[in-house]
Structure 1
Amino acid sequence: MSDTALTNLQRYFERKNDYESRFSISDLIFPSLTKTNNRLIDIFDKAEIKPPPPLKKRRKAIESFKLKEELSNTDWRLVFAGLSDRYDDNPSLLDQDEYFHKVQYEVESRICHDELNRRDWLSLCFSYFGYESDTPEKNKNWCALQQYLDKGYFSIKKQQKREKEWMRIIEKYNQIFTNSAGELIAEEMINGQIDDLSGLKKIAQVPEASWLWRRIFNVILSRIFIISDDEFKMKIERLVTLGCTYVRFMDDVLSACLTRYYHASFRQNPSTLLKQSALERWGSPQLRSSQNGWLQHVDEQVCLMVRAWFAKEDLQHFFQLLKGDRGVDQARLSYWLKYANQMSFTRIVMGSDAWNDLNTDFEEFRNRNKGRLSKLTEAASHINAVIMQIGNYFFVEFSGTGNACYVYKADDAPFNAEAKWLGMNTALKLRGSPKTITWLLHNAGWQSKFDDELAKFGIRAVKHSITASQNETKPEWIGLKTKANHEIKISDKKDQEKSKIENVTISIKEKVSISLQKIGFNKYRISDFRKVGGALKVELEIKNAQADLELKRLGFKSTNSNPLLYWKS
């Protein structure tokens, strides 16, 4: 059926919104006509929702409305769709009481007389979801529009003889017309119950940049900070998939997941999926030119964790995949892995054999590490090198055995560690250069000698740490004296809103502190993830009935997976 025919059919069925209540071919005794009628109704119900009218037409109708000109039904529908439009520095109709009250009167009249049809309602939906604000509920006119959508929907529904497909979808997600908008959808999305919201998006006329999508993802990301480590680990793949589907929120998904991963008990074990996804999105966290990009999304300690992941993987690839013709030196691999968590930068410098090898493993390695590799010159084709930075020192190792390890000051090295081409004899292996601090030979007992040399530089292996300055992975139970540094940085948060949230955070923390101190309980910690729409979390070290009552009195809820964990949105 052509678009023109479909439009005419739609107009026929919606005229005065009573095509079923006043006349029905099915009431007659003509089976063929009844069958045809039902088929046409089915086509109409399943027809794809047309996009909202162009902005130019909406503006023209709004200008006529403001000039108090007589409006046709089509003009009113354009006004309904343009309530949240802002242009030429003019506020939207939703922000102007004088104009919105006139719209209110028209909408109320149509609802009372059962004259509000589906296209009118969809136009109002477009304005409702298109209002530009992270907190639209603070606008009383927007709240009134929310109520009219609810009343209008039931006004349309009661006139129908049977439930339509679009009505079933609206019924299922009617929460989007309440102050809890997005919560049900978020729960279903994170649990894998739904993947595609295109149907709801079309039916409810939800714009791409709607506040609803932000709210849904705020709920999703807040949940990962109150679930257990095991449950979070199981949901990582699902969360990244959602980020890939809704690309606008991919940065937020990765920021939240990496931050949550940093606070998990398994943070020492790299997540290949998160590491690779963030690398493709933000570039390498090790490159000096890209570090600022990473720090726009995650805190420094999270960035250090990911750098350590890259260091571990680079070492394993260097000593195994890029072993050259002399075999893997497992002793050197094991030795440097002890320091991987302290490495802020690693760079593999590939010889021509590895650079040109068409083997699947090599091709995959090169593709996965684009921008993080250099090519080695002035060396035999099978030789490769790796540059490792620990503190302010570069350590340069070569593949296979028979080559010393060279040490340089990172801020005074005779080479650019990020250069695309690096010469073995003119850059990396310089015994006679005044910039060479020392070179270390792999003779018998070399590991202890290396330890002694590194200790002279203030470098010591720290077991089970993410960075050299962190010696403890288990949280210290000292109540509010423990700094809960769990903020996730989202680029579109406004400074003013951040300031408001911070003030509220302090107030609530003080209430928790005072309440728990009154009962003599101080073994707890507080974590705050509300800057991404998440929750304020209080975790007790031991179960305490009085603390449980105090936290619930303050509005905190306990979690099913961990009875010692309480949260408040």
Structure 2
Amino acid sequence: MLAVQAFAKLSGSLTAAISSMGIGGGTFGYPALVEKQAAESARLFQGYAKARPNKEDAYAAALAFLRGQALDPWQRDLIASALALPIREAKGACVLSSPKFDALLATYEAEARRGDLWRLTWHGLLASYFEFNPDAHKDAHSMKGWSSLREFLARTWPLVDRQAGAGTVPDWVMVLRRESEILSERPVDKYARAYLAGDTAPADSVAADLGIPQSSWFWHAMVLGAIRRATAESDAEFRRLIPRLLQLVQSKPAFRDDAVEHILVRYHGCKGAPADERLRDFVVQPTVWKNPKLKAAGIATAWSRVPDPVWSMVLGWVNERNLKDFFDILAARNKADEGRLAFWSNYLKQITWTRLVFGADTMALKTHNAEIRDLIAREEGAYAELTAKRDVDAFMMQIGPYLIIEFSKKPNACYVYQADELPFEPYERYYSGGTNDLAAGYYGKCAARVVHRDGWEWRAADELSSLGIRPDTSEAKRAQPVTQAGSHANMVQQHPANRTAVDMTELRRLVSKFHGATITDKRGTGGGRLWVSDPSQRALLAAELKSLGFKWAESRQGWYLPEN
């Protein structure tokens, strides 16, 4: 009986003790309650271990420091987390840029070596290190102060680490023990390598663990680090990495301009590299660097970041796309290409400027035609509109000292004007499209006028040649008419066997580029002809087929290779 009474008394004492600890309602002997309280204690500990002082107090301490006031010990602790903070009253300057910053650091270091530096103060200094924004503080003094802060953290981290000991430590201490290179002179190499390999986890993880903001130098250095690694690769490897680099830039747009500059300059150095459509489409977006044609108008100022040859390279990509879009999308609607795309492609390398001029019908189509809508969006800020001819579009291009105007629909002729004697302003927002502006050459007010009748290509080539404009290379002859001796088409027709006159491998490769187009070879099976069908009737494919000697059959709505 005495044993039972003793147990009851002990149980009551334990229950009272547990109750006094705030763990009521539980049953003695169950560890979940203890684990819950331990987890809550750990959470509170981690919160206190990286607590930041009141922002207003820290700001006030930073302002006092920049005004030359002496700081008391409490203010020195407060200012630690505000070293990179722009101070409005000091015209946006920060403590890092102050000539007295080195003396402040020396005070912190002396305390750290004596073991008197508060761990939360050191954590505040670490936070300031990561919060430095190179775009907000571009002056040399701020950069020097940030570098001095990094060196201080690297020197004093072993002291802080040793003082933390082997027991329970704050999360940020555990992270720095694993990632101590983030305080080194090459703090982002590890993360840049991973990002370039497509692994974003290491950088995202350390940023979350250490509270690195999106505006931090860390991301700026990591983006440029990945790009520098890519630009150091061979031409082929660098070009292979471009999609990944653009993805990186898009994910960290705050550092976009520096990144784009590096990528474009390196691409210009690639030997024989063709136009990169993805790079072109990214950089000319209205939200990125805009159309390079707008540089002269003072609108796309970002293009001033790169040398003129680099700007010219991208301008050439845009001009080439405009040329193809005009004939492949706009002129093709009226079946009015007449081999013009193939013809002007012979002069593509000499085209230094282009401009699209849309008629009212084309502008109306953008509401339900995705292709037209994308075209107009790409030319935002650069295109003009026609007011008098609803169903006609125009294309301007400059070659040497001449400005050339092509229209999307016959019977409009092509006009060649001297660029310094134009009967209209080349940057007007609206044109009538008639003889009072773009077609003023109808009355002879032009250097040359080309009417698109049979054999126009040769007449146009002769007139351009008389003006000093000749094809880019001797091999760019695909636009010559079929009646001219020596043309590709006559070579096909004069060959003793049609089956061997066309390289079928090359023809299949060409047709495969146009979705939906097909080849039907009936030679030798009673039909006697080689046919190519394109339900979309694309002007670019038509130009290529014409250059190979194919003719259009209206009845069949297809292209055929004539018999001998």
Deviations along 1:313-341, whole A, 9 cap, x unmatched?
A: 11111112112653152511011122222
1:71 aligned residue: 73
The answer to whether 1:254 aligns with 2:260 is yes
1:406 aligned residue: 415
The answer to whether 1:320 aligns with 2:321 is no
Correspondent of 1:109 among 106, 109, 114: 114
Q: Secondary structure at the match of 1:461?
A: coil
Is the Cα contact below 8 Å between 1:392 and 1:410 reproduced in 2?
yes
Change (3 A) 1:378 1:196: farther
Change (3 A) 1:46 1:102: closer
Change (3 A) 1:99 1:459: same
The answer to whether 1:296 aligns with 2:293 is no
The answer to whether 1:447 aligns with 2:457 is yes
So what's the TM-score if we normalise by structure 1? 0.66
Is the Cα contact below 8 Å between 2:102 and 2:145 reproduced in 1?
no
Distance 2:429 2:371 in 1: 21
**How much does 1:208 deviate?**
5.3
Taking the TM superposition and a 5 Å limit, the aligned residue runs for 1:86-97 are 88=90, 92=96, 95-97=100-102
Q: Secondary structure at the match of 2:384?
A: strand
Q: Match of 1:369, as an amino acid?
A: E
Structure 2 residue runs without a partner (length 5+)? 1-27, 476-564
Distance 1:232 1:325 in 2: 39
Is the Cα contact below 8 Å between 2:65 and 2:95 reproduced in 1?
no
So what's the TM-score if we normalise by structure 2? 0.66
Q: Match of 1:222, as an amino acid?
A: R
Taking the TM superposition and a 5 Å limit, the aligned residue runs for 1:394-543 are 394-425=403-434, 426-431=436-441, 435-463=445-473
Deviations along 1:147-204, whole A, 9 cap, x unmatched?
A: 113432453362327xx76455434432111111111122122222116856534543
Larger radius of gyration: 2
Q: Match of 1:81, as an amino acid?
A: S
Distance 2:272 2:179 in 1: 37
Is the Cα contact below 8 Å between 1:346 and 1:387 reproduced in 2?
yes
Q: Secondary structure at the match of 2:355?
A: strand
Relative to structure 2, which stretch is displaced further, 338-347 or 209-218?
Answer: 209-218
Q: Match of 1:285, as an amino acid?
A: P
**How much does 1:291 deviate?**
7.2
1:363 aligned residue: 373
**How much does 1:360 deviate?**
2.1
1:286 aligned residue: 293
Change (3 A) 1:97 1:295: closer
The answer to whether 1:185 aligns with 2:194 is no
Change (3 A) 1:239 1:154: farther
2:35 aligned residue: 35
Deviations along 1:378-429, whole A, 9 cap, x unmatched?
A: 22x3221111111221111111443321011223212222322111112111
The answer to whether 1:160 aligns with 2:168 is yes
Change (3 A) 1:371 1:385: same
Is the Cα contact below 8 Å between 1:396 and 1:405 reproduced in 2?
yes
2:180 aligned residue: 174
Change (3 A) 1:352 1:195: farther
Q: Secondary structure at the match of 1:347?
A: strand
Q: Match of 2:105, as an amino acid?
A: F
Distance 1:440 1:58 in 2: 71
2:123 aligned residue: 122
Structure 1 residue runs without a partner (length 5+)? 1-27, 466-569
Change (3 A) 1:165 1:90: closer
**How much does 1:105 deviate?**
2.1
**How much does 1:64 deviate?**
9.1
Distance 1:47 1:374 in 2: 60
Q: Secondary structure at the match of 2:403?
A: strand
Distance 1:79 1:277 in 2: 41
Change (3 A) 1:229 1:165: farther
Q: Match of 1:404, as an amino acid?
A: A
2:237 aligned residue: 231
Is the Cα contact below 8 Å between 1:377 and 1:424 reproduced in 2?
yes
Q: Match of 1:146, as an amino acid?
A: A
The answer to whether 1:218 aligns with 2:212 is no
Change (3 A) 1:42 1:398: farther
Distance 2:34 2:466 in 1: 93
Is the Cα contact below 8 Å between 2:394 and 2:406 reproduced in 1?
yes
Is the Cα contact below 8 Å between 2:171 and 2:209 reproduced in 1?
no
Q: Match of 2:289, as an amino acid?
A: W
Distance 1:183 1:221 in 2: 11
Distance 2:425 2:392 in 1: 19
Relative to structure 2, which stretch is displaced further, 248-257 or 196-205?
Answer: 196-205
**How much does 1:299 deviate?**
1.2
Q: Secondary structure at the match of 1:439?
A: strand
**How much does 1:227 deviate?**
0.8
Give the RMSD, CA atoms, in angstroms: 3.6
Correspondent of 2:273 among 238, 254, 267: 267
**How much does 1:260 deviate?**
1.8
1:520 aligned residue: none
Distance 1:67 1:403 in 2: 78
2:508 aligned residue: none
Change (3 A) 1:185 1:439: same
Is the Cα contact below 8 Å between 2:346 and 2:473 reproduced in 1?
yes
Is the Cα contact below 8 Å between 2:52 and 2:124 reproduced in 1?
no
Distance 1:33 1:274 in 2: 61
Distance 1:355 1:179 in 2: 55
Distance 2:313 2:337 in 1: 26
The answer to whether 1:57 aligns with 2:44 is no
Is the Cα contact below 8 Å between 1:62 and 1:79 reproduced in 2?
no
Is the Cα contact below 8 Å between 1:294 and 1:303 reproduced in 2?
no
Change (3 A) 1:86 1:329: closer
Distance 1:196 1:416 in 2: 55
Change (3 A) 1:215 1:359: closer
1:372 aligned residue: 382
Is the Cα contact below 8 Å between 2:84 and 2:94 reproduced in 1?
no
Q: Secondary structure at the match of 2:357?
A: strand
Distance 1:62 1:360 in 2: 55
Deviations along 1:345-366, whole A, 9 cap, x unmatched?
A: 1111122221101222222222
2:396 aligned residue: 387
